[in-house]
């Protein structure tokens, strides 16, 4: 027989569980927002660094150094994460190494593009990668693309063409670096494979 005390306990447990779920959802949303802002700002900061005489390897080394310090500080401050998240199964070690190599390649291409292109142009070209992810998923994973997804794919590629403006780029003195465009598209290409393989490796 269920007593009122038991019902209150169940309601309290549901309230706590729901509150924890809501808290995690808000923290996840905040993390995504901060990541988006950080990604947008890093291009501008890289431009300032280049203007101050920093090279691409120096900027990349500094970026990865701070990222490493932050990522290692989190498990050191939270033992629960250290016990459960720092143990990589042997079967996933190769996948993690491949993803790491692709991520470094993606970052290198992106910062090389920033050295040759305006930050807005570089970011615009790099963000073709979601369309490429959808395309690779269709070709290699057999995922079907809906009409809205196909429309988004076409619009992304059209936006890339309009941003680069090939006709203006062919004019002498137009100032567009085609090498920078290739670096940016290379970053988009490698980033798309990073996302695809991350889903495959789990």
User: What string of pLDDT tens digits covers the 202 residues of the chain?
Assistant: 445 555 555 545 554 456 778 888 888 888 878 887 887 788 889 999 999 999 999 999 999 999 889 888 877 777 766 555 666 677 677 888 899 999 999 999 999 999 998 888 888 888 888 888 888 888 888 888 888 878 877 887 787 777 666 555 445 445 678 899 899 999 999 999 998 998 888 6
CB 158 within 8 A of CB 96: no
How many domains does the chain divide into?
Answer: 3
DSSP character for 197?
H
Are 46 and 63 found together in one domain? no
122 and 172 in a single domain? The answer is yes
- Judgement on whether residues 97 and 179 belong to the same structural domain of the protein: yes
Q: Residues 118, 197: one domain? A: yes
Distance CA(102)–CA(109), nearest Å, equals 11
Q: pTM for the full model?
A: 0.75
- If asked whether residues 116 and 183 sit together in one domain, one would say yes
Residues 75 and 120 in one domain: no
For residue 5, what pLDDT is reported? 55
Report the candidate in 188, 184, 164 with the shortest Cα–Cα distance to residue 176: 164
Is the same domain home to 168 and 106?
yes
What are the Cα distances from residue 146, in Å, to 61, 143, 150, 152, 170?
41, 10, 6, 10, 36
Residue 62: predicted pLDDT? 92
Q: Are residues 42 and 70 in the same domain?
A: no
Same structural domain, 95 and 82: no
**Same domain, yes or no, for 141 and 61?**
no
Same-domain check for residues 119 and 35: no
Q: Which domain holds residue 77?
A: 55-87
């Amino acid at each position: 027989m269920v007593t009122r005390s038991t019902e209150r306990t169940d309601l309290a447990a549901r309230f706590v569980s729901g509150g924890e779920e809501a808290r995690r959802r808000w923290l996840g949303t905040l993390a995504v927002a901060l990541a988006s802002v950080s990604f947008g700002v890093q291009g501008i900061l890289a431009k300032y660094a280049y203007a101050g005489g920093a090279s691409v390897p120096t900027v990349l080394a500094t970026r990865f150094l701070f990222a490493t310090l932050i990522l290692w500080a989190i498990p050191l401050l939270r033992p629960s994460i250290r016990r459960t998240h720092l143990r990589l199964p042997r079967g996933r070690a190769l996948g993690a190494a491949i993803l790491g190599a692709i991520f470094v390649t993606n970052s290198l291409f992106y910062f090389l593009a920033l050295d040759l292109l305006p930050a807005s142009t570089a970011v615009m070209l790099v963000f073709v990668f979601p369309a490429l992810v959808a395309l690779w998923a269709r070709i290699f994973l057999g995922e079907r693309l809906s009409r809205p997804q196909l429309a988004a794919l076409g619009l992304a590629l059209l936006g890339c063409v309009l941003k680069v403006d090939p006709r203006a780029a062919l004019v002498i003195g137009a100032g567009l670096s085609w090498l920078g465009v290739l670096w940016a598209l290379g970053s988009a290409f490698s980033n798309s494979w990073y996302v695809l393989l991350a889903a495959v490796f789990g």
